[in-house]
Amino acid sequence: QQPVQSPQAVILREGEDAVINCSSSKALYSVHWYRQKHGEAPVFLMILLKGGEQKGHEKISASFNEKKQQSSLYLTASQLSYSGTYFCGTESLLGGANNLFFGTGTRLTVIP
């Protein structure tokens, strides 16, 4: 049930853009995106609830294609503070609870 993310790792120079993809073999109810800096807890970025929905968070935005069971996270004009591991999480309804399965993670490194 674990979604697959690509790429596994990416290195950017400040100001460059990146796209992180998340795909699932199962129908997606919703997609979460979290960022984890080294040695810290994952921090929530955004949730996408509807197919085709796109949301933004500063210069970080995401899209959700329900039909393709995919989500993409877009980072534009990257900053040093964007470095970290990005996780997508997909939800299945198990007992009506929030059962979030996280992807394999994408390590993003932004260099000066």
Partner 1 sequence: DTAVSQTPKYLVTQMGNDKSIKCEQNLGHDTMYWYKQDSKKFLKIMFSYNNKELIINETVPNRFSPKSPDKAHLNLHINSLELGDSAVYFCASSQDRQPNEKLFFGSGTQLSVL
Binding site for partner 1 (CB under 8 A): 2, 29-30, 32, 34, 36, 40-44, 47, 49, 85, 87, 91, 93-102, 104-105
* In the complex, minimum distance from the CB of residue 15 to partner 1, in angstroms, rounded to a whole number: 27
Distance CA 102, CA 14 (A): 27
Nearer to partner 1, 15 or 56 (CB): 56
* In the complex, minimum distance from the CB of residue 59 to partner 1, in angstroms, rounded to a whole number: 20
* In the complex, minimum distance from the CB of residue 97 to partner 1, in angstroms, rounded to a whole number: 4
Distance CA 81, CA 7 (A): 19
The type of residue at 48 is L
Q: Phi and psi of 19, rounded to 5°?
A: -130, 130
The total of other beta-carbon atoms located within 10 Å of residue 45's CB is 19
* In the complex, minimum distance from the CB of residue 76 to partner 1, in angstroms, rounded to a whole number: 23
Nearer to partner 1, 1 or 14 (CB): 1
Nearer to partner 1, 31 or 110 (CB): 31
**Helix, coil or strand: residue 44:** strand
**8 Å CB contact between 103 and 22:** yes
Nearer to partner 1, 19 or 100 (CB): 100
